[in-house]
Amino acid sequence: MSQLSHEQIAKALNISKGVVSKYVGLANNAGLDWEAAQALDERQLTVLLLPRAAAAGRFVEPDWAAVHRELDRKGVTLVLLWQEYRAAHAECRTWGYTQFCAHYKDFVARLKRSMRQHRRAGEKLFIDFAGSTIALVDGSRAQVFVAAMAASSCVFACATLAQRLEDWIEGIVRALAFYGGVPQLIVPDNPRALIAEPDRYEPRANATVQDLCRHYGCSVLPARPRSPKDKATAESAVQVVTRWVLARLRHQTFATVAEVDAAIAALLPSVNERPFQRLAGSRASVFAELDAPALMPLPAQRYELARFKTVKVHIDYHVEIEAHRYSVPHALVGQALEARLTRACVELLLRGQRVASHARNERRGGYTTVDAHMPAAHRAHKEWTPDRLIEWGQRIGVSTGEVVTRQLQLFKHPEHGYRSCLGLLSLAKRYGAARLEAACERALVLGTVKYRHVRDLLANNRDRLQNPDQSDWVSPTHANVRGPGYYQ
């Protein structure tokens, strides 16, 4: 430094000669030479050269990482944290609220983008499917479901066969069991499997998803279409799982989805227990501290996938589901009900209230009837009785009346045959009463009384063929006929 003039130093640093002279004088007063100054950092130089300014600028530095974590707790604000900071350092020099916020903003700007969003503890669970898949030996590929808690970014992942409704539901149910509690909101993207109407302002989930939310006491709030910031936590979680789980499995061979799922489960602890780079703790420790205490408790029973369909109660007070008929209270004849179908149960709902429940029955064409659903005196809707149906058939013809009678006798409860009888009698409108009577007469000769057989006879014009006269038939004489004398 002594080899250069003050003017040369000023030109080299683009400052005035007065500033150079000032700091050279301060260094001389402090007894510093060039070699001694090189060993000091900026703060130490400030203390030696400008002791008053350094003393005036000694503010107590808050633990910004702790401030950042506390903001994730429900009800905690920067004002409250600033007041606690001032109270904890009442004897020291502290920042005002504006400076406190500015320094915190500078701290947050140095964090990863996904960590800048303030998420309340236990409030949201983000879910998505990873773009990467894992090949199986049969040529198919296992999909990877990913979930992450908002405040802690604690990650869950599992393997599924596809991305259908049942795969989404299975992933959500397993994720909630993994976390040991239920968040207030579940935030997916807008997959067709979950969201019936992906509207930007009023999205609507399908009936199965709404049923899952009722079971767990939470809500589903899909991210806005084309708004990736709404689900930045999910995007980050997918990236973490892809890099730290799926990438490690790239050299392994899997035969089934279950094998992939087991391999993913074995790697998840290493992901969640990996320390943060800029913050204290890990995903697992922050989850235990913030999210876990704020989650709602799990219900006693695990959710079972349910599908919904609208059904109508027929005049025999049964509804038809997958070719099987289930009874409901007879007073609901003609009403439209909502059927909730699970693997083991069929529930019938009227305006959200359950009116009947049955064990699932896969027998096609069968009936499941509860006696309590039948009317006490008049075993069907008043407009339709067995006697009325028989009388209606007899007005068409004797054979038609006989077919109707036998149809009603086929079932334990005659009401089960009402629809078959009505279908049979309705054929008179299309083909005429005379042809229906002829078809029923031929059906009785053939030994059948089923509606579809009579319908086919009419459709094929078999009713117009003359029935053979059984009394005129005589067996021809031949050597194989022994005759009555043979047995005497």
Dmax over Cα atoms in the chain, in whole Å?
Answer: 155
Task: Identify the structural domains of the chain with CATH numbers, from first to last.
Answer: 6-56 (no CATH), 64-110 (no CATH), 124-294 (3.30.420.10), 307-373 (no CATH), 386-469 (no CATH)
| Lowest mean pLDDT segment, chosen from 28-32, 315-319, 354-358 | 28-32
Q: Which residue has the higher pLDDT, 390 or 416?
A: 390
pLDDT at 45: 72
CB 330 within 8 A of CB 372: no
Angle between helices 451-459 and 433-446 (to 10 degrees): 120
Helix (H, G, I), strand (E, B) or coil at 84: helix
DSSP readout, 248-315? Answer: GGTT--BSSHHHHHHHHHHHHHHHHTSBPSSSSSBHHHHIIIIIHHHSBPPPSS-----EEEEEE--T
Mean pLDDT in residue range 55-67:
73
User: Could you report the per-residue pLDDT of 136-190, keeping only the tens digit for each?
Assistant: 999 999 999 999 998 888 999 999 999 999 999 999 999 999 999 999 999 998 8
Asked whether the beta carbons of 284 and 273 are under 8 A apart, the reply is: yes
Q: Are 307 and 343 in contact (CB under 8 A)?
A: no
Nearest 10 degrees: Cα torsion 118, 121, 125, 131: 50
Residue in 446, 380, 447, 445 with CA at minimum distance from that of residue 417: 380
469 residue type, one letter = D
> Residue 337 — φ and ψ, nearest 5°?
-115, 160
Please give the single-letter amino acid code of residue 388. R
Tens digit of each residue's pLDDT (9 = 90 or more) over 245-291: 998 898 899 999 999 999 999 999 999 999 887 777 899 999 998 89
Enumerate residues 6+ apart whose C-beta is below 8 A from 460: none
The neighbour count for residue 357, using CB atoms within 10 Å, is 13
Cα atoms in the Cβ-side hemisphere of radius 13 Å centred on 4 = 14
3-state helix vs strand vs coil in the chain, percent to 5? 45, 15, 40
Q: What percent of the chain has pLDDT over 90?
A: 43
What confidence tier does 114 reach under pLDDT thresholds 50, 70, 90? very low
Instruction: Give the integer Cα–Cα distance in Å for 235 and 154.
Output: 13
Q: What is the pLDDT of residues 323-382, one digit of tens each?
A: 999 999 988 999 999 999 998 999 999 988 999 999 999 888 888 988 888 876 545 444
pLDDT band at 22 (very low <50, low <70, confident <90, very high): confident
Tokens 């640093």 appear where?
13
